[in-house]
Amino acid sequence: MARAATDVRYARAYRSAVEAYAMQHVERFGVSAKSYAAHLTGLCCVVEHDADPARLAAIARWLSGPSPVEKPALLPPPRGHRTLADARGAGEPEAHAAAVRAWAADVWNAYREQHALARRWLEEATRSPVRRH
């Protein structure tokens, strides 16, 4: 992730890495229903929609007001077999991007029982109106 801050060639994998890491460490980064929904739908978006910027922005807008979600009671153990170390070990930007995509897909697969929920939330987020200030 630090590479993305200093080398734009690594930046395209940044959001995928953030979502994979957050959902592997959900006890820290998914404590509230909003943060859980943000990272679960974010992971769905990066894996199934190639980190579509419009969908990612819709998630943030959708969760900016009162929480429209409830956090699931059961969380999957384990949360994937690949880790940050797998991505960190990849040197060149293309290899790094591929390793991050594989890591995110592995974590997403660990949450397969929540795929329908994540897809529904992502659909709600994309249909949610833009709030004006």
Cα–Cα dist 30/79, whole Å? 13
- The secondary structure of 19-59, three-state, reads HHHHHHCHHHHCCCHHHHHHHHHHHHHHHHCCCCHHHHHHH
| Length, in residues, of the chain | 133
Residue 14 belongs to domain spanning: 2-127
In a domain, 132, yes or no: no
In a domain, 100, yes or no: yes
Q: Report residue 22 as tokens.
A: 């957050």
How many of the other CB atoms lie within 10 Å of CB of 121?
A: 21
In a domain, 108, yes or no: yes
Domain count for the chain, please give it.
Answer: 1
In a domain, 27, yes or no: yes
When pLDDT is averaged across residues 21-49 and rounded to a whole number, the result is 96
| Structure confidence by residue, pLDDT tens digits, 50-95 | 999 999 999 999 999 887 799 998 777 788 888 887 887 777 888 8
In a domain, 82, yes or no: yes
Amino acid at 45: C
Cα–Cα dist 60/40, whole Å? 12
Closest residue by Cα to residue 107 from 74, 71, 77: 77
Q: What is the pLDDT of residue 89?
A: 77
Cα–Cα dist 132/68, whole Å? 18
| Structure confidence by residue, pLDDT tens digits, 1-31 | 666 777 788 788 889 999 999 999 999 999 9
In a domain, 133, yes or no: no
